[in-house]
A and B are shown apart, each in its own frame.
Chain A
């Protein structure tokens, strides 16, 4: 449950602190760069006139226009006709629109009335230039050619009313807000795709690493096989590393299982042979056979303990979780301990109760408590005090009145096979693994075990277990 909650918060964390996320950094910087580039380009290009654009007129079009201007001049001189008469001759009406621009706008003449959406004044600015092609939104004009008529000087333009300006020019003619909007949307989409493409493999890596660390060894980063850049390589390296780890752990587990199987097979045979021998042996040999049986049992217990510690440390022990009353578990363990204590003339003082259900592997938890109690009984002088308290967690305190442990050894007490040098006796039948099992078993239930010396002497073991009723 706590896990899903965590996930939820990480899911929305980027909303709170986007600056902490690489994706946003890359996205924002890239986007800003693109926007900056585009806006500066747009701005620069708009320093020129925004509605009209022009370029030098060249080639046959220029020749034609010059020829037309010359003919008009000649006709005007020869036939003494006014500019208006020449231009508005019916023969010209069917051809392209011609426009004679005069310095006085009211004197300007067209070969026929232009369409309503044509604003001829747009070409005025070119009057003093060499002949140009002038692109406007609705027409293309060619000119000016300076033409002299008796009534004054005109500038001749040919107007192509139907010609749409080319695409690039149309783009150039778009209103500035539209240009910026298009640039914004396009760069937004581009930057998003770019940053996603960059960040997605990192996120896949993160998820895979997370799953791996939580014990899902089959987790792999979802990286495109064809990706050749550094991230692609990193992803594949990560995946091959994960495969390596998976194989190593599988091999180790198999080794553990093999050891347990291989060591136990001869042990089983040994026990069986002892059984057969016991059936036939004379009474005087029975003690030796009993001794063999006892040693075989001790060996068996040690193998089991080593395997359990290894499995618990590797977190590969499958927990069989059940809802169980803590009081039931503790009563069972305490009953056994009471019996053991009585045999060595020591007493157990129990205080408090734990009437709470917890979801646990009861036999594992019981064996943890048994190991701690056995240890306490072994080292106690006379009494063992057990204090059970229930707050929002389960507290179990086990104190003995023995010699305690040298402070520098406290931390090492839970290491497998650690024994204090002055207490290196194996007569008690312990395997040296009891506390290691206890510590790991409690850790497997998300609890923790702490050891300290009491001020009045004697070791104190404090166990804290969270109460989680969810399976």
Chain B
């Protein structure tokens, strides 16, 4: 499985390559934003690890431009404690973030959580096409695509996973903890807003086609996908 790391810290890239190679991943490193964006657009990667502070083009700009054409999963590497950065990254369509300096075990867990889904799809597409249809939203589990009234929703990997999870459990409350564990592969930290950000992104994208409310917030507990008539 091929990963792309965009970070100007060459030493860290070397160490991380070595570590992830030992875990069975193939990793390619680029050290500036411009080149990183070009590489990310040219080739297919299972996951991109994207630093925020980059020469030539910063992480947010890379993400913004990448998202115009590609939905490759992205984990942002942010400096710790900068709340603003994280929210901004998630708004732009990052799948998750890891504050620097990170723990190698934690990084591996996140990478696994996101790449695991891709393995999951390949196994699914080998079986028959599997579709869910609730309240005019169609989830194509094999192709990992979500449609509303036949039109494709352009969701990031994480947004797709969140929506699919909610649709699978349509009518039931899915707690933020469940979403975090199933989709991001980690426990929900106290006062973590990332799930809210992903849900808000999904809502925005659905509202572009149809403004009817489909995902309801259950304050303090989680979210429900409304079953409709």
Chain A positions within 8 Å of B53 at CB level: 257, 261
Given contacts A276-B18, A363-B191, contact A304 B80 (CB under 8 A): yes
Q: Are B15 and A363 touching (Cβ within 8 A)?
A: no
Chain A positions within 8 Å of B84 at CB level: 318, 320
A267 at the interface (CB under 8 A from B): yes
Q: Are A261 and B79 touching (Cβ within 8 A)?
A: yes
Q: Are A272 and B81 touching (Cβ within 8 A)?
A: no
In the complex, identify which listed stretch (B97-105, B113-121, B140-148, B150-158) lies at the interface while the others stay far away: B97-105
Q: Are B87 and A272 touching (Cβ within 8 A)?
A: no
Best-buried of A267, A273, A308, A322 by chain B (most CB within 10 Å): A273
A265 at the interface (CB under 8 A from B): yes
A108 at the interface (CB under 8 A from B): no
Q: Which A residues between 297 and 327 are near B, CB-CB below 8 angstroms?
A: 300, 304, 307-308, 318, 320, 322, 324-325
Chain A positions within 8 Å of B12 at CB level: 265, 268-269, 272
B16 at the interface (CB under 8 A from A): yes
Chain A positions within 8 Å of B104 at CB level: 271-272, 274-276
B11 at the interface (CB under 8 A from A): yes
Q: Are A279 and B22 touching (Cβ within 8 A)?
A: yes
- With beta carbons under 8 angstroms apart, the residue of B9, B18, B191 that contacts A265 is B9
A362 at the interface (CB under 8 A from B): yes
Q: How many chain B residues touch the partner (CB < 8 A)?
A: 25
Q: Which B residues between 74 and 115 are near A, CB-CB below 8 angstroms?
A: 79-81, 83-84, 87, 100-105
Q: State how many angstroms separate the Cβ of A355 from the closest Cβ of chain B.
A: 13
A264 at the interface (CB under 8 A from B): yes
Q: State how many angstroms separate the Cβ of B14 from the closest Cβ of chain A.
A: 9
Chain A positions within 8 Å of B100 at CB level: 264-265, 268
Q: Are A332 and B190 touching (Cβ within 8 A)?
A: yes
Nearest-CB residue, chain B, relative to A271: B101
Chain A positions within 8 Å of B190 at CB level: 332, 363, 366
A13 at the interface (CB under 8 A from B): no
Q: Are A318 and B83 touching (Cβ within 8 A)?
A: yes
Chain B positions within 8 Å of A273 at CB level: 15
Q: State how many angstroms separate the Cβ of A373 from the closest Cβ of chain B.
A: 14
Nearest-CB residue, chain A, relative to B9: A265
A296 at the interface (CB under 8 A from B): yes
Q: Which B residues between 7 and 47 are near A, CB-CB below 8 angstroms?
A: 9, 11-12, 15-16, 18-19, 22
Q: Are B220 and A320 touching (Cβ within 8 A)?
A: no
Q: Are A271 and B22 touching (Cβ within 8 A)?
A: no
- Bound complex: CA of A147 vs CA of B32, how far in Å? 114
Nearest-CB residue, chain B, relative to A318: B84
Q: State how many angstroms separate the Cβ of A434 from the closest Cβ of chain B.
A: 15
Q: Are A271 and B87 touching (Cβ within 8 A)?
A: no
Q: Are A276 and B81 touching (Cβ within 8 A)?
A: no
Q: Are A362 and B102 touching (Cβ within 8 A)?
A: no
- With beta carbons under 8 angstroms apart, the residue of B15, B80, B191 that contacts A272 is B15
B residues bordering A, Cβ < 8 Å? 9, 11-12, 15-16, 18-19, 22, 53, 79-81, 83-84, 87, 100-105, 190-191, 193, 220
> 8 closest A-B pairs (Cβ-Cβ)?
A275-B104, A268-B101, A272-B15, A363-B191, A267-B101, A362-B191, A318-B84, A269-B11
Query: Beyond the given A272-B16, A318-B84, could you list 19 further A-B residue pairs with CB under 8 A, ordered by the A residue number?
Result: A261-B53, A265-B12, A265-B100, A267-B101, A270-B101, A271-B101, A271-B103, A272-B19, A272-B104, A275-B105, A276-B15, A279-B19, A320-B83, A320-B87, A320-B193, A322-B193, A325-B220, A332-B190, A366-B191
